[in-house]
Chains A and B, each alone.
Chain A
Amino acid sequence: MSAIFPRWTNSVPTILAVGSLGGAAIAAGSVWYWFTPSYWEVGYEPIQPVEYSHQTHVGKLGMDCRYCHTGVEESSEANIPATATCMNCHTGEGDVAMLNSDLWQAHKIDPNLLQVRTAFATGEPVQWRRVHKLPGYVQFNHAAHVRVGVSCYSCHGRVDQFAVVRQEKSLAMGWCLDCHRDPEPHLLENRDSMRDSAGFCEVTDLARAAELLSMAEQRERGKALANERNIFPPESCGACHN
């Protein structure tokens, strides 16, 4: 009588055991790497209707974030500027002392600006695409963070170097908690009213912030700031989910 299964089947349990261990390791590793916001959220870079370059405006011309994102100190939203804000400079009619005439001419016929001017004329807003999105059940307040001295840089990266805005950080809940549990490496000097300050403050000057936060004494400085200003971020569920 022949055997029910051939002799080699005796090696199947070993193969199965090793294979399933390996398979489990691969599955766990894949989920660990790919199934995370730091994989699928970071680097989101939508094509905007207008090719607005932060690199030119902030990096080259040295504008402050708050010139356009006006609400950042007072409200939960940093806000997308109204078309009127663009038109402060880009009317195509007036004179802007800072710009030489050649550049000015280029701006006058730029098709991107045509869109902005059309929007301004018709009152139809430019359809900007939102880059940083949080779920509806999360309440994030820009003012609360900016006012205690968390730099724009900490969450948005070197926007002054971006030709096109992209998402730099994962915005995962764990990423929020990293800072809420240990805020010291992220705290910077912030005067009571940033508007009154003569120069650019540490919080909105992205290059300066990046430099300061990478310095060795940042932790001590942050600790001193936290104690001085009584900064103890909440970790309870209700702080962000309410």
Chain B
Amino acid sequence: MTTLEPDQATALGLTGPGSAPADTIDGSMVNDPAVRPPLVLGDRDFHSVTETICGWIENKTPKWWPLAFMSSAGVAGIGTVMILYLIITGVGVWGLQNPVSWGWAIVNFVWWVGIGHAGTLISAILCLFKQQWRTSINRFAEAMTIFAVICAGMFPGIHVGRVWMAWMLFPIPNSNYIWPNFRSPLLWDVFAVGTYFTVSLLFWYMGMIPDIATLRDRAMLRRKQSVTFGPVWVPHPLPGFIKNMTFTIPANQIASWVYGVLALGWRFSFRHWNNYEKAYILLAGVCTPLVLSVHSVVSFDFAVSNVPGWHTTIFPPYFVAGAIFSGFAMVLTLLIPARSLYPGMKDFVTAKTIENMCKIITLTGSMVGFAYIMEFFIAWYGANEIESQTFMMRAFGPYWWAYWIMFTCNVLTPQVFWFRWCRTNIAFIFMISILVNIGMWFERFVIVTTLSSDFLPGSWGYFSPTFVDVMTFVGSLGIFLSLFLLFCRFLPMLAISEVKNVLPQAHAHLHGEEH
């Protein structure tokens, strides 16, 4: 990109070790709009980029990793037991009841889907807007998206009770002549979330193909050494049936095979890159409306019904803004620890990148806050008694505490990012990101518990979760974290080829030539 060239010298000057002026934090926080801040710090060349990012996978597993994985897998195991208990016993083990017939299951579903919006937003929308700072976080955010959508999809799946009938969500010919009701927003949801998951997964995988090929080639280069393992017990036809055997295989044999199969034989041919780049930008093009559509469709689950407090046209934009808001918060929650745990990651995920994300959080948080206020305004201005009563119940009714947690965490907290100190203090940002995650969970809770006071005061009730409700939700966090830790351990966390592409030396110096 030749547009980089005018301030290339400045950028290079800033990336040198120890050359960062004091007020630029790590050298990336340049506030002069005429100066393009460096995207990668530490005076890195292509080789050191490869070494650092591949090193996180190839080097010895860090000590904290098995500990973190074991504990999150344990939590995931508890969640799995809860799900099995639900399937064996029935949905009655949850706190669902009339009138709140959609309890935590839908709260968790919407929360996780919302979180799953950041990845494709970063990889698609920011790609179209040529926001190059996204290259250091897009792979990370996309992985988070995939795992969040897996957790989201789990909840409606088990909420149906008879999980073996879940195939009826899809239009499959059957001897009952029953087809799904295509006029229902719940079915739109199946298609929207299903498409979103499939496309995000393919987009993520396609982006990883070149990086996996790099890992494959590096594994091949290290195959000259050999490793011996054993003795292991092996079944054997001779008496005794089990024999102790020792194996010697080339080092990285398994890694090179696995990465080799996954890389699909990518050989970095530019003829391939040419089609690849076209496919990538086109996918970014279709994913942009897709991201916006998914949470709009999720909001239709509520907005298309005629329940007061749900039947509002503000829902789609308000849900989409909330989704981006919570997604960025979750990316920060994961990114900030990873950034300090993996050596060299701070050179790619710079303070400027984090600051940009904080700005997006403030923007989307304010949009969500506007929507909260606008809902009240319209409830009053629309002069519909039931509608205004519903909103009064939200803020001052039995769930007042949930409403005010939501309002504080989502609207007031992100406003701190107007101050530069808050946007650059990593520990502080981490805390705020957790608060935003909590706030967004409560937003979904507030919306769902609107059902607790429906049209008939005689059927009003108060929703309380059961132990199984709580542990299933906690278990979904465990599943999410386990998958994420596996990703960090075995797959390239940063898009290696994309990061190389934004280095200053990635551009041919063709002085005095137009092209």
Which residues from chain A sit less than 8 Å from chain B, CB to CB? 1, 4-5, 10, 32, 36-38, 170, 172-175, 177
Cβ A173 vs Cβ B178 within 8 A: yes
Cβ B220 vs Cβ A173 within 8 A: no
Contact indicator per residue, chain B 153-181, by CB within 8 Å of chain A (1) or not (0): 00000000000000000000111111000
Query: Is B260's CB within 8 Å of the partner chain A?
Result: yes
Query: With A and B bound together, what is the CA distance between A177 and B179 in angstroms?
Result: 13
Chain A residues with Cβ below 8 Å from B220 are 1, 4
Minimum distance in angstroms from B376 CB to a CB of chain A: 39
Residue of B nearest to A3 (CB): B220
Cβ A173 vs Cβ B176 within 8 A: yes
Chain A residues with Cβ below 8 Å from B176 are 172-174
Query: Is B216's CB within 8 Å of the partner chain A?
Result: yes
Checking A1, A4, A38, A177 against B177 with a beta-carbon cut-off of 8 angstroms, the contacting residue is A177
Cβ B260 vs Cβ A174 within 8 A: no
Minimum distance in angstroms from A91 CB to a CB of chain B: 46
If A5-B265, A36-B175 are given as contacts, then 16 extra A-B residue pairs at C-beta distance below 8 Å, sorted by A number, are A4-B216, A4-B220, A4-B257, A5-B260, A10-B265, A32-B173, A37-B175, A38-B175, A170-B175, A172-B175, A173-B176, A173-B177, A173-B178, A174-B175, A174-B177, A177-B177
Chain B residues with Cβ below 8 Å from A174 are 174-177
Minimum distance in angstroms from A177 CB to a CB of chain B: 5
Chain B residues with Cβ below 8 Å from A38 are 175
Interface members, chain B 158-212 (any A CB < 8 Å) = 173-178
Name A's interface SS: helix
Name the 9 nearest CB pairs between A and B, nearest first. Answer: A173-B176, A174-B177, A172-B175, A36-B175, A4-B260, A174-B175, A177-B177, A37-B175, A174-B176
Query: Is B256's CB within 8 Å of the partner chain A?
Result: yes
Query: With A and B bound together, what is the CA distance between A38 and B176 in angstroms?
Result: 11
Chain B residues with Cβ below 8 Å from A175 are 175
Which residues from chain B sit less than 8 Å from chain A, CB to CB? 173-178, 216, 220, 256-257, 260, 265
Residue of B nearest to A32 (CB): B173
Minimum distance in angstroms from A178 CB to a CB of chain B: 8
Name B's interface SS: loop
Number of A-B contacts defined by CB within 8 Å = 26
Query: With A and B bound together, what is the CA distance between A10 and B264 in angstroms?
Result: 10
Chain B residues with Cβ below 8 Å from A172 are 175-176
Query: With A and B bound together, what is the CA distance between A4 and B265 in angstroms?
Result: 10
Minimum distance in angstroms from B263 CB to a CB of chain A: 9
Query: With A and B bound together, what is the CA distance between A1 and B178 in angstroms?
Result: 59
Chain B residues with Cβ below 8 Å from A1 are 220
Chain A residues with Cβ below 8 Å from B265 are 5, 10
Which among B175, B257, B265 has the greatest number of chain A C-beta atoms within 10 A? B175
Minimum distance in angstroms from A66 CB to a CB of chain B: 31
Minimum distance in angstroms from A13 CB to a CB of chain B: 9
| 8 A/B residue pairs, CB under 8 Å, sorted by A | A4-B220, A5-B265, A10-B265, A37-B175, A38-B175, A170-B175, A174-B176, A175-B175
Minimum distance in angstroms from A128 CB to a CB of chain B: 27
Query: With A and B bound together, what is the CA distance between A175 and B173 in angstroms?
Result: 14
Minimum distance in angstroms from A207 CB to a CB of chain B: 29
Chain A residues with Cβ below 8 Å from B257 are 4
Checking A4, A5, A10, A173 against B175 with a beta-carbon cut-off of 8 angstroms, the contacting residue is A173
Minimum distance in angstroms from B322 CB to a CB of chain A: 36
Minimum distance in angstroms from A7 CB to a CB of chain B: 12
Minimum distance in angstroms from B272 CB to a CB of chain A: 15
Cβ B178 vs Cβ A4 within 8 A: no
Which among B177, B220, B257 has the greatest number of chain A C-beta atoms within 10 A? B177
Minimum distance in angstroms from A238 CB to a CB of chain B: 15
Minimum distance in angstroms from A34 CB to a CB of chain B: 12
Minimum distance in angstroms from B5 CB to a CB of chain A: 39
Query: With A and B bound together, what is the CA distance between A27 and B216 in angstroms?
Result: 35
Minimum distance in angstroms from B308 CB to a CB of chain A: 28
Minimum distance in angstroms from B251 CB to a CB of chain A: 14
Residue of A nearest to B263 (CB): A4
Minimum distance in angstroms from A38 CB to a CB of chain B: 7
Minimum distance in angstroms from B295 CB to a CB of chain A: 31
Minimum distance in angstroms from A135 CB to a CB of chain B: 11
Query: With A and B bound together, what is the CA distance between A230 and B88 in angstroms?
Result: 48
Which among B173, B174, B216, B256 has the greatest number of chain A C-beta atoms within 10 A? B174
Residue of B nearest to A1 (CB): B220
Chain A residues with Cβ below 8 Å from B178 are 173
Which among A4, A10, A37, A177 has the greatest number of chain B C-beta atoms within 10 A? A4
Residue of B nearest to A5 (CB): B260
Chain A residues with Cβ below 8 Å from B260 are 4-5
Query: With A and B bound together, what is the CA distance between A132 and B177 in angstroms?
Result: 20
Which among B176, B216, B256, B257 has the greatest number of chain A C-beta atoms within 10 A? B176
Chain B residues with Cβ below 8 Å from A32 are 173
Query: With A and B bound together, what is the CA distance between A4 and B256 in angstroms?
Result: 8
Residue of B nearest to A38 (CB): B175
Query: With A and B bound together, what is the CA distance between A235 and B20 in angstroms?
Result: 76
Chain A residues with Cβ below 8 Å from B175 are 36-38, 170, 172-175
Query: With A and B bound together, what is the CA distance between A174 and B177 in angstroms?
Result: 5
Query: With A and B bound together, what is the CA distance between A1 and B220 in angstroms?
Result: 9
Query: With A and B bound together, what is the CA distance between A165 and B177 in angstroms?
Result: 28
Query: With A and B bound together, what is the CA distance between A5 and B259 in angstroms?
Result: 12
Query: With A and B bound together, what is the CA distance between A104 and B260 in angstroms?
Result: 85
Query: With A and B bound together, what is the CA distance between A5 and B262 in angstroms?
Result: 13
Minimum distance in angstroms from A64 CB to a CB of chain B: 33
Residue of A nearest to B256 (CB): A4
Query: With A and B bound together, what is the CA distance between A177 and B173 in angstroms?
Result: 14
Chain B residues with Cβ below 8 Å from A5 are 260, 265
Minimum distance in angstroms from B162 CB to a CB of chain A: 13
Minimum distance in angstroms from B259 CB to a CB of chain A: 9
Minimum distance in angstroms from A173 CB to a CB of chain B: 4
Minimum distance in angstroms from A5 CB to a CB of chain B: 6
Query: With A and B bound together, what is the CA distance between A173 and B175 in angstroms?
Result: 7
Chain B residues with Cβ below 8 Å from A173 are 175-178
Query: With A and B bound together, what is the CA distance between A20 and B220 in angstroms?
Result: 30
Query: With A and B bound together, what is the CA distance between A4 and B263 in angstroms?
Result: 12
Query: With A and B bound together, what is the CA distance between A210 and B257 in angstroms?
Result: 67
Chain A residues with Cβ below 8 Å from B216 are 4
Query: With A and B bound together, what is the CA distance between A36 and B174 in angstroms?
Result: 8
